[in-house]
Structure 1
């Protein structure tokens, strides 16, 4: 199972489209957005990806609340399952408890990953390149006994994504 993870698109729908297209080119079967989509265009891009996706409202998404029935966007923390893995998705990192297999959050605009108490924690960083001149996203590959996290990042003045890979045994 291969999942693309992104967060904090803000008003950068061009970067959001680029990240979604890139994650699709890397074989992602699902997309998870950890909030602060800010504009309907970013939700449309998730919908138009033709991948199964889920998103949560961020602290800057009040204007999107009325669109919850049109798009697959939920209130946080949102619990769901893909195949045999249990997820908890949130924007604000207020529910970072190991009560599922994988916890995904955003808000800080900082890439983070940790594996403790048999729970994987991921913050994909920021799509919007607001806090630093980097467009970031994550590919999570879930194998039978291993998680492989690939962080993709691109300086806004460069053309190609670079990557870092991290592995955790389950």
Structure 2
């Protein structure tokens, strides 16, 4: 199972589209957005991807609250399950407790990954390239006995994404 993870799109719908298209190109089956979509266009892009997706409201998403019935955007922390894997999704890193198999968060604009006490923690970094000159996303591949985290990043003026990979035994 391959899950595309992104966060902190802010007003950069062109970067968001580029990341979603890339995650589809590398065969992601699901999309998870960890908040700060900021504009409806970014929600539309998730919807138009035709992949199953879920997102949460970030601290800059108050203007999107009335759209929760139109798009799959939830209050944080949001718990869900894909196959036999339990997830907790949030924007603000306030609920970093090991009460799921995978905890996904955003807000810091920094890529993070850690595996503690059989819980995987992932922050995909930022789509918007605000804190640093990189567009970032993650693909999480979940296999029976391992997690494979592939971090993809590129400078805004570059054509191709670079990749870093991290593997943990489940």
TM-score of the two chains, using structure 1 as the length reference: 1.00
1:156 aligns with 2:123: no
| Structure 2 residue aligned with 1:86 | 86
| Structure 2 residue aligned with 1:126 | 126
CA RMSD of aligned residues (A): 0.3
2: distance between equivalents of 1:29 and 1:139?
10
Following superposition, the deviation at residue 157 of structure 1 comes to 1.9
Following superposition, the deviation at residue 18 of structure 1 comes to 0.2
Structure 1 portions without partners, runs of 5+: none
Alignment of 1:18-167 (within 5 A): 18-167=18-167
Following superposition, the deviation at residue 53 of structure 1 comes to 0.1
Following superposition, the deviation at residue 84 of structure 1 comes to 0.4
SS at match of 1:97: coil
1: distance between equivalents of 2:81 and 2:158?
36
4+ long deviations beyond 2 Å: none
Name the count of aligned residue pairs.
Answer: 170
TM-score of the two chains, using structure 2 as the length reference: 1.00
| Structure 2 residue aligned with 1:2 | 2
SS at match of 2:113: strand
Following superposition, the deviation at residue 23 of structure 1 comes to 0.2
Following superposition, the deviation at residue 159 of structure 1 comes to 1.1
Structure 2 portions without partners, runs of 5+: none
1: distance between equivalents of 2:14 and 2:57?
20
Following superposition, the deviation at residue 158 of structure 1 comes to 1.1
Q: Could you report, residue by residue, the CA deviation over 1:59-104 in whole angstroms, capped at 9, with x for unpaired residues?
A: 0000000000000000000000000000000000000000000000
